[in-house]
Amino acid sequence: MATLIDGKQTAKQIRGDIKRKIDERKSDDLQIPGLAVILVGDDPASEVYVNSKGKACEKLGMFSLNRRLAAASTETEVIELIRNLNSDSRIHGILVQLPLPDHINTDRVIQSISPEKDVDGLHPFNIGLLVAGKPRFIPCTPYGILKLLAAYEISTAGKEVVVLGRSNLVGRPLSNLLSLKADYGNATVTICHSRSRGLPDICRRADILIVAIGKKRFVTRDMVKSGAVVIDVGIHRLAEEEGGGVCGDVDFESVEKIASAITPVPGGVGPMTITMLMQNTLQACELATARAKK
């Protein structure tokens, strides 16, 4: 049976470190980190995410603002709100919950966030730094996965890593990071997707298989090499007739029998994502303090 990679426990440890650093800032009379989360519209899943981000801030003693805009808001209104937050000195991180309604251009909205407050790491400037091998804000889910691998002492150096999925939020930045000359990198990385020919063969090459394809139980036992590490980024709500609860992009029951280590869903990658958002917000605050001292 595979080792369970416990994201809840790992996230708890990292949050403990973040809280200690924030408490230290308070006792040193330094500014506390502040995060603004913008939600446009009323998608119920996004509401849940946004609320949990606010709660996480509160627990760590961070400052947080939740800004809700109606689904019919214009792109100009969203960008105007971001401009105000860009110049709000209480705020070090700005996150616009995605997806945005169809009538709003996501690229223009993301590009209006000050790169210094882009704690999601989605602004082209920060993507550029990452690809150039000098990451500043690492997107939260990839960052969480790197931290999980580190916590379980799973080295990536020299390994065959296959990333299944090419989204801007997960697959693309993660595949870049893993190939960098860095402690968490030095891997031989293959990025593949739903249109890749011979996917099962490609996946079976992996020493570490990272799945972010957004399809329920897509990866089955026949796609996994014996002894591989499997990281499941997916989360899908199951209907009552499917047994309720949630499942991932990996068919956990069959794959855990062949993997050496695997993340469960829920309780694997999920708890790490918000934690790394908190980490990035703390980092943005520390960078702001350092700039002010210059």
- Residues designated catalytic: 53, 97, 120
Phi, psi of 37 (to 5 degrees): -115, 125
Residue 110, interface with ligand GUN (CB under 6 A)? no
Residue 96, interface with ligand GUN (CB under 6 A)? yes
**Count of beta carbons in the 10 Å neighbourhood of residue 239:** 7
Among the listed residues 4, 32, 79, 98, the single contact to ligand GUN using CB under 6 A? 98
C-alpha span between 125 and 134 (Å, rounded) = 11
**Are residues 227 and 261 in contact, defined by beta-carbon separation less than 8 angstroms?**
no
| Lookup result for tokens 């989605």 | 122
Beta carbon nearer to ligand GUN, 36 or 223: 36
User: What is the nearest approach in angstroms of ligand GUN to the Cβ of residue 120?
Assistant: 5
User: What is the nearest approach in angstroms of ligand GUN to the Cβ of residue 33?
Assistant: 17
- Cite the DSSP H helix spans in 32-95: 44-60, 75-86
List Cβ neighbours of 242 (8 Å cut-off, separation of 6 or more). none
Residue 97, interface with ligand GUN (CB under 6 A)? yes
C-alpha span between 60 and 233 (Å, rounded) = 25
| Burial classification of residue 20, based on how many CB atoms lie within 10 Å of its CB (0-12 exposed, 13-18 middle, 19 or more buried) | exposed
Picking from 236, 235, 237, 27, the residue whose alpha carbon sits closest to that of residue 141 is 235
Residue 95, interface with ligand GUN (CB under 6 A)? yes
Phi, psi of 67 (to 5 degrees): -115, 115
Beta carbon nearer to ligand GUN, 121 or 264: 121
| Burial classification of residue 67, based on how many CB atoms lie within 10 Å of its CB (0-12 exposed, 13-18 middle, 19 or more buried) | middle
Binding window for ligand GUN (CB under 6 A); candidates: 71-79, 90-98, 200-208, 254-262: 90-98
Beta carbon nearer to ligand GUN, 256 or 271: 271
Residue number of the CB closest to ligand GUN reads: 98
Binding window for ligand GUN (CB under 6 A); candidates: 8-16, 94-102, 179-187, 238-246: 94-102
What x/- string results for residues 158 through 197 when contact with ligand GUN is judged by CB under 6 A? -----------x----------------------------
Q: In what order do the strands lie in the sheet with 93-96?
A: 63-69, 34-40, 93-96
User: What is the nearest approach in angstroms of ligand GUN to the Cβ of residue 142?
Assistant: 10
Residue 269, interface with ligand GUN (CB under 6 A)? no
Residue 140, interface with ligand GUN (CB under 6 A)? yes
Residue 120, interface with ligand GUN (CB under 6 A)? yes
Binding window for ligand GUN (CB under 6 A); candidates: 19-27, 89-97, 189-197, 217-225: 89-97
Residue 232, interface with ligand GUN (CB under 6 A)? no
User: What is the nearest approach in angstroms of ligand GUN to the Cβ of residue 37?
Assistant: 8
**Are residues 262 and 239 in contact, defined by beta-carbon separation less than 8 angstroms?**
no
Q: Which residues bind ligand GUN (CB under 6 A)?
A: 95-98, 120, 140-141, 169
